[in-house]
Amino acid sequence: QPVLAVVGRPNVGKSTLVNRILGRREAVVQDVPGVTRDRVAYDAFWAGRRFTLVDTGGWEPDATGLQASVAAQAEIAMATADAVLLVIDASVGATATDEAASKVLRRSKKPVLLVANKVDDDRLLADTASLWSLGLGEPHPVSALHGRSSGDLLDAIVKALPSMPRDGDRATAGPRRVALVGKPNVGKSSLLNKISGEERSVVDSVAGTTVDPVDSLVELDGDVWRFVDTAGLRKRVNSANGAEYYASLRTKTAIDAAEVAIVLLDAAEPLSEQDLRVLTMVVEAGRACVLAFNKWDLVDEDRRHAMVRELDRGLVRVPWADKVNISALTGRSVRKLAPALRTALKSWDQRVPTGQLNGWLADLIAATPPPVRGGKQPKVLFATQAGIRPPTLVLFTTGFLEAGYRRFIERKFRERFGFEGSPVRVNVRVRE
Ligand code: GDP
């Protein structure tokens, strides 16, 4: 889904506006370190459109000074969001900092909306006309606090946002969409460079595809792949402040835009919380997944032994994901990513016909019925694979099925039908 970033000086009312857009009343706590860090991106919804709203309010101005910090905010927002809201305090008017941010944003090829906040009464309304001078088009006067004109602003936002492929749709035929994700310094840019350097880079020569400039088309093992949202990997966003927020936001955007993710892990180091967070994002987004252990050139015998135990424990959520050991540095086994991607996507696209599914399920349940709950034996009446991308099973039952039993069904389903490299969802509909 498209990403909207909200930028502006401290105290112009960014968080209040964010809450207004989200339809919430309470203020976001901004001054507690760590609180807004991982809550910087919110899911917003208006007029049937979903988008991700990013509040930059948690960024403290750093030593470079306010003006530079806000300009850097704008720079990062432009590089990573699909549209930007610049918020100005209309009761103060345009300050030098606002002008600096506007100057950056005027270069943006993406939509920028200028919001004049704190227009709490009509007296200020006339003054907002002077904000045309910022060169960002018509100012949108609002009062985030009182809600004045926030509906009009939301209409304008939704109009400005680019349309994105719907969740689970294949937007177009053509190269399959790959997200290259992983924690900082795991070797994402190195790998991308390796792939586009060694293999023929086909960035503008694929017939019939319009390629978003943030994506890269590369050939790997005879197929063309579309690595999504790679602009930030090629050109590093340069800001101490906020780089961390946007690393995690980029991960989310890339995963959402992709069909399959290559999750890059550092083979030379133990699995970290950050690695698991990325994996969870992929699984929760329902994307296919390949695990690539990078920096394999640094792995020795001891490390290899340590890894076996570590991965058994660490990767319990994705026992179905293919593992490839690579080195972006030497190019070792980089080609092997392609077969793994193909397998994962094939699983992601796969549908088991209802007849076949129910034949298999009847036998399974006869052999191992669901556990009794509250003195009752839930019956599984019927199952269907309601969806693909990701494959989604729906079981119609007469009672609730415990998570353990749902996992058992998933495991057996995989044993019978494959689905290597893809998450599988098992939903239960209880019929009264
Ligand atoms: P990114 O933040 O994920 O894009 O990581 P980079 O591609 O910038 O890589 C971070 C550092 O790891 C750089 O110093 C790379 O040279 C190094 N690096 C990347 N891949 C490998 C690898 O396969 N082997 C080794 N030894 N170093 C690597």
User: What spacing in Å lies between the alpha carbon of 390 and ligand 1's midpoint?
Assistant: 31
Q: Which of 11-25, 99-113, 327-341, 348-362 has the lowest mean pLDDT?
A: 11-25
pLDDT tens digits, 266-280: 999 999 999 999 999
Topology given in CATH for the domain delimited by 354-430: GMP Synthetase; Chain A, domain 3 (3.30.300)
Closest ligand 1 atom to Cα of 236:
4
Q: Which of 64-78, 212-226, 348-362 ranks highest by mean pLDDT?
A: 348-362
Which residue lies with its CA nearest to atom 20 of ligand 1? 187
Average pLDDT value for residue range 206-229: 73
Query: Looking at residues 349-375, what average pLDDT do you find?
Result: 90
In angstroms, rounded to a whole number, what is the distance separating the alpha carbons of residues 233 and 209?
A: 22
Give the pLDDT of residue 147. 81
Residue environment code for 35-71, b if the CB has 16+ CB neighbours within 10 A, otherwise e: ebeeebbbebebeebebbbbbbbbbebeeeeebbbbb
Query: Does 185 contact ligand 1 (Cβ within 6 A)?
Result: yes
Query: Could you tell me if the CB of 183 is within 6 A of ligand 1?
Result: no
Query: Looking at the predicted structure, is the pLDDT value of residue 130 above 70?
Result: yes
Compute CA distances 279 → 106, 231, 346, whole Å.
Answer: 37, 22, 20
The model's confidence at residue 27, banded by pLDDT at 50, 70 and 90, is very low
Ligand 1 atom 11 nearest Cα? 185
Q: Do residues 115 and 142 make contact, with C-beta atoms less than 8 angstroms apart?
A: yes
Query: For residue 48, what pLDDT is reported?
Result: 79
Contacts of 356 (CB under 8 A, 6+ apart): none
Tokens 């392609």 label which residue? Answer: 338
* pLDDT at res. 418: 93
pLDDT above 60: residue 133:
yes
For ligand 1, the distance from its centroid to the CA atom of residue 185, given in whole angstroms, is 6
Q: Over the stretch 168-199, which tens digit does the pLDDT of each residue have?
A: 444 445 789 999 999 988 999 899 989 887 54
Question: What is the topology classification, in CATH, of domain 176-349?
Answer: Rossmann fold (3.40.50)
CATH 3.40.50.300 placement within the chain? 3-160, 176-349
Candidates 390, 422, 429; CA nearest to 167 is: 390
Distance 297 CA to ligand 1 centre (A): 11
Q: Residue positions in the annotated binding site for GTP?
A: 8-15, 55-59, 117-120, 182-189, 229-233, 294-297
Over the range 201-212, which residues count as b (16 or more CB within 10 Å of their CB) and which as e?
Answer: ebeeeeeebeee
Of 68-72, 167-171, 221-225, 325-329, which one has max mean pLDDT? 325-329
Residue 331 CA to ligand 1 center (angstroms) comes to 12
Is the CB of 252 inside a 6 Å radius of any atom of ligand 1? no
pLDDT computed for residue 151 by the predictor: 87
Percent of the chain with pLDDT over 70: 83
Using pLDDT thresholds of 50, 70 and 90, give the confidence band for residue 354.
confident
Mutate which of 186, 190, 263, 324 for ligand 1 pocket (most atoms within 8 A of beta carbon): 190
pLDDT band at 61 (very low <50, low <70, confident <90, very high): low
At which residue do the structure tokens 């023929």 appear? 200
pLDDT digits (tens, 9 = 90+) for 64-94: 677 777 877 787 677 667 899 999 999 999 9
**Which 3 state secondary structure label does DSSP give 305?**
helix
Q: Is the pLDDT of residue 431 over 60?
A: yes
Instruction: Please list, residue by residue across 416-429, b when 16 or more beta carbons sit within 10 angstroms of its beta carbon and e when fewer do.
Output: ebebebbbbbbebe
* CA dist 363 → 6, 402, 404 (Å): 55, 19, 19
How confident is the model over 238-261, as pLDDT tens digits? 545 556 666 777 888 899 999 999
pLDDT at 317: 87
Identify which has the larger pLDDT, 287 or 379.
Answer: 287
- ipTM of the predicted structure? 0.94
Index of the ligand 1 atom closest to the CA of residue 184: 2
Asked if pLDDT for residue 60 goes beyond 60, the answer is no
pLDDT mean across residues, the chain: 83
Q: What is the reported pLDDT for 232?
A: 64
d(CA 369, CA 363): 10
**Is the CB of 186 inside a 6 Å radius of any atom of ligand 1?**
yes
CATH classification of 3-160, choosing from 3.90.180.10, 3.40.50.300, 3.90.209.20, 3.20.20.80?
Answer: 3.40.50.300
Please classify residue 105 by burial: count the beta carbons closer than 10 Å to its beta carbon, then call 0-12 exposed, 13-18 middle and 19+ buried: buried
Of 183, 185, 191, best ligand 1 pocket probe by most atoms within 8 Å of the beta carbon:
185
CA distance linking residue 394 with residue 388, whole number of Å: 12
